[in-house]
Amino acid sequence: MLPDHLKEHSAAVAVDAFDADAVKAGKFQHGELTLEIAPGKIASVCGFLKYDQKFIRISTVTAVDRHPAEPRFEIVYHLHCIERNQRLRLKCRLAGAEPAIDSVTGVWRGANWYEREVFDLFGVRFLNHPDLRRILMPDDWEGHPLRKDYPITGQRV
Amino acid sequence: MSESGVPELVGAGVEEERSQSGGRRMVLNMGPQHPSTHGVLRLVLELDGETIVSCQPEIGYLHTGIEKEFEVKNYQQAVTLTDRVDYLAPLSMNLGYCLAVEKLLQLEIPPQAQWMRVMLTELTRLNSHLVWLGTHALDIGAMTVFLYCFREREEILKIFEQFSGQRMMTSYFRIGGLALEPPRGWHERVKTFIDAFPSRIDEYENLLTNNRIWIGRTKGVGVISLEDMLDLGVTGPMLRAAGLKMDARKDAPYSSYEKFDFEVPTRTENDVYARYLLRLEEMRQSLRIIRQAMDGMPPGPWKADAPHVVLPDREKMKTQMEALIFHFKIVTEGFRVPEGEVFQVIESPRGELGYYVVSDGTTMPYRVHMRTPSFGNLQAVPKMVEGVLIADVIASIGSMDFVLGDTDR
């Protein structure tokens, strides 16, 4: 359900009209629009935003670890519509145990490396990703460095 | 082949096997230590004769965990980390981060600091483009250009040194303004440089633009469609050389860019040669901006009037108790940034640079993600080189102007 204060933002209204169950919350802060999307709907919402709303670029995909709070992970997508010079942030919250979400590589091929990076550094799995393996850390690395419970210094024993 | 799909090449640079068509397929490891990859990029190339069948970039050799490091530095300290990401455009990196945090703090930056920032980031663009031009030409075999470019770059680094005390890791922009007062005599130094520079660009053009070898190596090489580039996350001069006028300085002006008169050059040929001409034109436009900033530099303070964020003047600190208290608090624990998140985009010499900064209301960033242009651009390498000759790989990847520090963070 779309919060009332977002009714003046066309992208938010469009997503709500496309799938009323998809939008769980949203905010407009510092001139930036954020929509919180139900994790199961992310691929279809992104497809709609790209082909119907002309968000032809994905700028980046990243994550925030809210450990020890639950749901622990926020997967954050930054989209860009060049035609309307507009940016949009999507956010999905995932529980801490075996986090997984649908990949959006089917919508934008450029999401490939960004999702690999989130997988590598946060340990979030992307379903239907064509090539999900570590990208920055060595292949045999243990653990996911950007998680909040991963130590910043120390020796591996 | 290993489980990960990357050929295992321990102890050997080359591996041959029979392809299904009966010809010999060769897997060639280009990098991570190859003179023309400018850093530790590894390209696993599968060759059929001299033709690239497939290309797989491997990155991460320069990953230093900078995004993790952000989380244990206070906001002001973290500025020094940003230089080290894209070490050829340190001031652009400083600027993006400072703007993001200032947006969270809702801090008003005085005009002089804003204009100074514009002037110095444009000098950074020249610096970066000069390194690009010099090394790109060197890769293709034109050594003279390299020496000429580094001659001018040295002048820019001296200007940076005069401002900040550092040639490369400047950290000159701080949250709330500049790190130090602009030095005495900067005006003459910058003026001498920009008066001489247009003729230097002509010199590079003399060496390359009509050079038959240069044209032969670059025209029609490295073409990739605009649709593919947008889909794969390419930004910056690559897009502009394909005819798309996308530049954050115009689309979402920051730090007073809207007050400057300049053009965003575009070309339509979309090959290595067009990217070369485009960057030369960008250098000329940067000069216009620098000249305007220098001539119209507004007077006034160079740091914001925000005692809880900006360190007080030395003089005040010694005479006023409040100033001393603020100084103590800022130095020992930093300043608190209101809870929230921002995504600040600026136009770095390489393309779209975005800082996603999340604050939880404490003195240290909760999370900083850098959307760096090189990372996005490199994704397009396979699309660009598959099916071309191996010699064109060098020219193609050179025209992307990536920095591995920027890619691996």
pLDDT tens sequence across B316-333: 888 999 999 999 999 898
B252 and A108 within 8 Å at the Cβ level: the answer is no
Any chain A CB within 8 A of the CB of B216? no
What is the distance, to the nearest Å, from the Cα of residue B288 to the centroid of all Cα atoms in its chain?
20
pLDDT at B16 (0 to 100): 55
Whole-number Å distance between alpha carbons of A50 and A73: 24
Q: Is residue A27 in some structural domain?
A: yes
A-chain CB neighbours of B367 within 8 Å are: 64-65
Q: Is residue A48 in some structural domain?
A: yes
pLDDT > 50? residue B9: no
Lowest-confidence region among A135-144, B20-29, B38-47:
B20-29
Of B59, B69, B340, the CB nearest to A30: B340
B71 and A152 within 8 Å at the Cβ level: the answer is yes
Helices (H) and strands (E) in chain A, counts: 3, 7
A137 and B60 within 8 Å at the Cβ level: the answer is yes
pLDDT at B140 (0 to 100): 87
Q: Which residues of A48-70 are buried (b: 16+ CB within 10 A; e: fewer)?
A: bbbeebebbbbbbbbbbbbeeee
Phi-psi region of B62 (alpha: psi -120 to 50; beta: other; left: phi over 0): alpha
pLDDT at B197 (0 to 100): 92
A-chain CB neighbours of B340 within 8 Å are: 29-30
For B252-258, which contacts have Cβ atoms below 8 Å and span 24 or more sequence positions? B252/A85, B252/B345, B254/B95, B254/B99, B254/B344, B254/B346, B255/B95, B255/B99, B255/B109, B255/B114, B255/B117, B255/B118, B255/B121, B256/B111, B256/B114, B256/B115, B256/B118, B257/B118
Q: Is residue A142 in some structural domain?
A: no
pLDDT > 50? residue B357: yes
pLDDT at B315 (0 to 100): 87
pLDDT at B20 (0 to 100): 55
Bridge partners, residue B58, by sequence: B42
Record the tokens describing residue B92, joined without a space: 């652009």
Percent of chain A with pLDDT over 70: 99
What band does B1 get if pLDDT is binned at 50, 70 and 90?
A: very low
B-chain CB neighbours of A143 within 8 Å are: none
Give the range of the structural domain holding residue A76, as residue numbers without chain letter: 4-127
SS3 assignment, position B167: coil
What one-letter code names the amino acid at A47?
G
B-chain CB neighbours of A78 within 8 Å are: 343, 354, 356, 371
Of A112, A121, A139, the CB nearest to B4: A139
Q: Give how many domains chain A has, as a whole number.
A: 1
pLDDT > 70? residue B23: no
Q: Is residue A63 in some structural domain?
A: yes
Whole-number Å distance between alpha carbons of B213 and B192: 33
pLDDT > 60? residue B52: yes
Of B71, B246, B369, the CB nearest to A62: B369
Cis preceding linkage at B32, omega within 30: yes
- Cα angle: B173, vertex B128, B261; to 5 degrees: 70
pLDDT > 60? residue B285: yes
Any chain B CB within 8 A of the CB of A156? no
Any chain B CB within 8 A of the CB of A145? yes
φ, ψ of residue B275 in degrees (nearest 5):
-65, -35
Cβ B126 vs Cβ B288: under 8 Å: no
Residue range B137-150: mean pLDDT, rounded: 89
Of A34, A65, A110, the CB nearest to B376: A110
φ, ψ of residue B404 in degrees (nearest 5):
-70, -30
pLDDT > 90? residue B305: no
What one-letter code names the amino acid at A35?
L
What one-letter code names the amino acid at B373?
P
pLDDT at B281 (0 to 100): 92
Question: What CATH number is associated with residue A77?
Answer: 3.30.460.80
Residue range B217-231: mean pLDDT, rounded: 89
pLDDT at B35 (0 to 100): 64
B68 and A136 within 8 Å at the Cβ level: the answer is no
What band does B38 get if pLDDT is binned at 50, 70 and 90?
A: confident
The per-residue pLDDT for range B82-101, each reduced to its tens digit, is 998 988 899 999 999 999 99
Write down all domains in chain B, each with its CATH number in brackets. 66-408 (1.10.645.10)
Residue of chain A whose alpha carbon sits nearest to that of B351: A59
Q: Is residue A37 in some structural domain?
A: yes
pLDDT at B199 (0 to 100): 92
Lowest-confidence region among B8-22, B240-254, B352-366:
B8-22
Any chain B CB within 8 A of the CB of A86? no
What is the distance, to the nearest Å, from the Cα of residue B242 to the centroid of all Cα atoms in its chain?
20
Residue range B2-11: mean pLDDT, rounded: 48
Cβ B190 vs Cβ B317: under 8 Å: no
pLDDT at B42 (0 to 100): 87
Place of tokens 């090394």: B135
* DSSP one-letter string for A9-64: -HHHHHHHHH-TTTEEEEEEETTEEEEEE-GGGHHHHHHHHHHTT---EEEEEEEE
pTM: 0.89
Cβ A58 vs Cβ A77: under 8 Å: yes
What one-letter code names the amino acid at B383?
K
Give residues with Cβ within 8 angstroms of A68, minimum separation 6.
none
Q: What is chain B's mean pLDDT, rounded? A: 87
pLDDT > 60? residue B360: yes
A32 and B343 within 8 Å at the Cβ level: the answer is yes
B-chain CB neighbours of A146 within 8 Å are: 67-68
Q: Which residues of chain A have pLDDT under 50?
A: none
Any chain A CB within 8 A of the CB of B389? no
Whole-number Å distance between alpha carbons of B409 and B399: 21
B63 and A131 within 8 Å at the Cβ level: the answer is no
CA of A95 vs chain B CAs: smallest distance (Å): 18
ipTM of the complex: 0.92
Bridge partners, residue B227, by sequence: none
Q: Is residue A150 in some structural domain?
A: no
Q: What's the half-sphere exposure (Cβ side, CA atoms, 13 Å) at B97?
A: 31
The per-residue pLDDT for range B233-253, each reduced to its tens digit, is 899 999 999 989 899 998 889
Q: Between B121 and B32, name the one with better pLDDT.
A: B121
A110 and B69 within 8 Å at the Cβ level: the answer is no
B379 and A110 within 8 Å at the Cβ level: the answer is yes
Q: How many CB atoms lie within 10 A of CB B311?
A: 18
Q: Is residue A82 in some structural domain?
A: yes
Q: Is residue A65 in some structural domain?
A: yes
Whole-number Å distance between alpha carbons of B61 and B274: 31
What band does B12 get if pLDDT is binned at 50, 70 and 90?
A: very low
